[in-house]
Amino acid sequence: MSADIRGIFCRACDALDLHWTTSGRTVYVSRNADVARMDTFIGPKA
């Protein structure tokens, strides 16, 4: 929930050219291509 942690995550997404959105304090990466790309870096959600 930390604004600092969300900021770090959003900057990392920007560096990887991933599209992200926010709603309240939640950050979403929802586009299929972006999720697939993110999975190559951190692995799929278990």
pLDDT averaged per 10 residues, the chain (length 46):
94 95 96 93 78
In whole angstroms, what is the distance from residue 35 CA to residue 19 CA? 9
pLDDT at residue 45 in the model: 74
pLDDT at residue 13 in the model: 95
Residues 6+ apart with CB under 8 A from 28: 20, 21, 22
Does the pTM surpass 0.75? The reply is: yes
pLDDT at residue 1 in the model: 79
**Residue 8: which domain range?**
3-42
Count structural domains, the chain: 1
Tell me the residue length of the chain: 46
pLDDT at residue 4 in the model: 96
In whole angstroms, what is the distance from residue 35 CA to residue 28 CA? 10
